[in-house]
Homo-oligomer: A and B are copies of this chain.
Amino acid sequence: MSPVTGPTLPPLVPGAADASSAPEALDMRHLQSLLGYNARRAALHIIEGFMQRMGEFGLRTVDFSVMSVICHNPGVTSRQLCAALNLRPPNLVGLVQALHARGLLARQPHPTDGRALGLHATAQGMALMRQAEQAATQLEIDRSAQLSAKERQTLIELLQRVYLPARKPPF
């Protein structure tokens, strides 16, 4: 059982592998056969570098996402942001307040709904995000340098088909 090289998974019985004989390399094949495990490990690998890089702009991952959506969708409401980014409204309040306090976004009354507030990036917020988005794109390329541009695109498309609702064929 030791020199297994094929895709066969080890049997789930004692003695199938012995950690004391090779303490430095564990058999991780079953976990590595699971999509969720691999997706989580890969996401954490990318985001680890992402957080470092965005820290230079004073942004956490979620700050970047929120600012990016606001920049590309002027007047978006908190509720829309929550739906698009899978956030809970109470967790967005302090986040938006902090970005507003830094002068990165402004809140204007919604044109048709008196309850809502439209979120707009300020000129300063726009300038920051232009830099941040460029840095983010470059960082991701560096962090996934093992992939070609074509492979990276394939990976993104497959990931989107996992979590995005299926769309009609004629796009």
The interface of chain A, by Cβ under 8 A from chain B, is 5, 10, 12-20, 23, 26-47, 50, 61, 65, 68-69, 71-77, 80, 84, 86, 110-112, 118, 120-121, 126, 129-130, 133, 136-137, 140, 143-144, 146-147, 151-152, 154-156, 158-163, 166, 171
Contact = CB atoms under 8 A, between A and B. Distances in A.
A19 B19 CA distance: 57
Tell me how many chains of this kind the complex includes.
2
A17 to B, nearest CB: 5
A30 B133 contact: yes
A76 B38 contact: no
Contact of A76 (B26, B43, B50, B69): B26
A158 B155 contact: yes
5 tightest A-B contacts by CB? A39-B43, A36-B46, A45-B163, A38-B159, A42-B159
Contacts of A65: 31, 37
- Per DSSP, chain A at the interface is helix
A36 B61 CA distance: 10
A162 B147 contact: yes
B137 A39 contact: no
Contact of A41 (B32, B46, B110, B163): B163
A26 B69 contact: yes
A113 B92 CA distance: 49
A19 B76 CA distance: 5
Contact of A129 (B12, B18, B72, B162): B12
